[in-house]
Amino acid sequence: MLLEVKNLNAGYGFLQILREVSLTVDRGEYVALVGPNGAGKSTTLRTIAGLLRPMSGEIRFKGEPIEGLAGNKVARQGIAYVSEAMNLFVNMTVQENLSMGAYTLRDKGLRKDRLEFVYALFPRLVERQNQLAGTMSGGERKMLAIGRGLMSDPELLLVDEPSFGLAPQLTESVFESLNALKKRGMTIMLVEQNVTKALAVTDRGYVLENGRIELEGRSRELACNDHVRKVFLGV
């Protein structure tokens, strides 16, 4: 198991959002975490990424406990988190943003390799190299955010709402890039509101409702599940 989450409880202040969430992600898997608004999907990712301290529960990455570690330490373990808000460095150029992504890498050769890898994945970013991140379009920023996450040569990529605020065409191209990544053996965990889309591209899925995991299974089967169809697709 690459990532193991057991009985995780988390929230903000006195407000508990996650209740006893347990999930696993295996190496090379492409996993979706779907659910309605406010179910706690982003909270789950934020807690795994170390941006939110869990109230209780276990998070293991490559067998090592990482719960309660600060965000920068989690990043150093090999987990890259691409947040919904993207958190780009808006007054830095694309190139600088990417090189910040490789902050934890000391090896110059590896940094160069990663940069080439990201540019190959998102050729659009090559054209924008010297543009400030804050002046780019939403789709380009999303690509940059994923690219920055990939720069650290992570073993697990957590992606929060890749389609949020994007035109359908752009959403499609972001998903294509994620597919390409998966084909190269990257482990990805995806949070998505667009349930149909998410379950169509991933291998396995979890359904989160009111902070609890309600269902889990193969994505294809989940997509046909009556409960899922009723709640999310209105059928």
Partner 1 sequence: MWKIEPDRLLRWLKSAAGISILTAVAAAAMATMDRGPHVLVNAVVMGGMLALVSMGLALVFGVMNIPMFAHGEYFMIGTLVAYYVFTPINTHISTHPDSMLSALGPLITIVAAMLVGAIAGVASEVLVFSQLRKRSRENWVMNSFLLTVGLSVVLINGHQLFFGADFKGIVRFWSGAPFSILDVFISRDRAMAFFLAVLVVLSFWLFISYTRTGRAIRAVSQDETGALMVGIGLNGILMLTMALSCALAAVAGASLLFMYPSYPSVGLEPLYMAWFVVIIAGLGNVLGAVVGAFIVSLLKVLTVEYIGSGWDFVVPSALIIVILVFKPSGLFGSEVRGILDK
Cα 147 from chain centre: 12
Supply the minimum distance, in Å, between the C-beta of residue 96 and partner 1.
7
Compute how many residues bind partner 1; rule: CB under 8 A: 30
Q: Which is nearer to partner 1, 72 or 137 (CB)?
A: 72
As a whole number of angstroms, the distance between CA 100 and CA 93 comes to 10
Q: How far is the CB of 40 from partner 1 (least distance, A)?
A: 19
Question: Do 178 and 188 form a contact (C-beta atoms < 8 A)?
Answer: yes
φ, ψ for residue 207, nearest 5 deg: -110, 120
- In the complex, what is the shortest distance from the CB of residue 42 to partner 1, in angstroms, rounded to a whole number? 12
Indicate the residue among 12 and 200 with the shorter CB distance to partner 1: 12
Kindly tell me which residue out of 6, 22, 92, 155 binds partner 1, with binding defined by CB under 8 A: 92
Assess 100 for contact with partner 1 (CB under 8 A).
Answer: yes
Distances from the Cα of 210 to the Cα of 37, 41, 139, 206, angstroms: 9, 10, 30, 13
Q: Which residue, 85 or 126, has its beta carbon nearer to partner 1?
A: 85
185: left (phi over 0), alpha (psi -120 to 50) or beta: left
Instruction: By CB under 8 A, tell whether 80 contacts partner 1.
Output: yes
Site residues for partner 1, window 200-219 (CB under 8 A)? none
Contact status: 81 vs partner 1 (CB under 8 A): yes
Q: Which of 158, 192, 160, 210 is nearest to 17 (CA)?
A: 210
- Cβ neighbours, 10 Å, residue 112: 11
Window 32-71: contact mask with partner 1 (x via CB under 8 A): -----------------xxx------------------xx
Residues 109-148 that bind partner 1 (CB under 8 A): 148
CA distance 184 to 186: 6
H-helix segments, the chain: 41-48, 71-77, 94-101, 108-121, 123-127, 138-151, 168-183, 195-201, 219-224, 226-233
Which is nearer to partner 1, 86 or 181 (by Cβ)? 86
If 0-12 CB within 10 Å is exposed, 13-18 middle and 19+ buried, where does residue 185 land?
exposed
Q: Specify the stretch interacting with partner 1 by CB under 8 A; choose among 75-83, 114-122, 184-192, 201-209.
A: 75-83
Residue from 7, 26, 68, 87 binding partner 1 (CB under 8 A): 87
Q: Is 72 one of the binding residues for partner 1 (CB under 8 A)?
A: yes
Positions that interact with partner 1 (CB under 8 A): 49-51, 70-73, 75-76, 80-81, 83, 85-92, 96, 99-101, 103-104, 148-149, 151-152
